[in-house]
Amino acid sequence: MDKIVMTGMQFFGYHGVFPEENKLGQRYQVDVELHLPLDKPGSSDCIDDTVNYAEAYGIIKTIVEQEVYKLIEALAERIASELLQTYTSINEITVRVLKPHPPVAMFFDGVLVEIHRKRA
C-alpha cells in the first residue's frame, strides 16, 4: 500500500493526568502515516485525487492544541478517528504521539504512543 508520511509535527497542548500539565501545557510531536492508493494522483497530478496534507495538518493541529486529553493514547485515537472520517481514501493510518517531557522522575527522551487503525 502506498502512503503519505507526515513526520515531526510539533504542537503545544495541555494533555496529561496531572493538573499542572493541563495548566502549563507542553510540546508534543505527532507523526502520521496515511495508507492509501496514490496511483490516481500520481497520474492526474491533481490535489483532489489525494489527501491534502496541509488540510490534514490543520486537523491534527486543532485536535492537539484545542482539545484536552488525559492520555496520549486517547489523543492518538482521536487523531486517527478524525482523519479516517474526513478522508475516505485512507485505508489504514498509523499515528505516533511523542510527549518529550513527561512530568515523572525518570530520565529518558520521552514517551511515545503508536497506534495503527484500519477502515472498518
List, by residue number, the catalytic residues: 99
Using DSSP, state whether 9 is helix, strand or coil.
strand
Name the region of 45 (left: φ>0; alpha: ψ -120 to 50; beta: rest): left
Which residue in the block uniquely carries the three cell numbers 498509523? Answer: 94
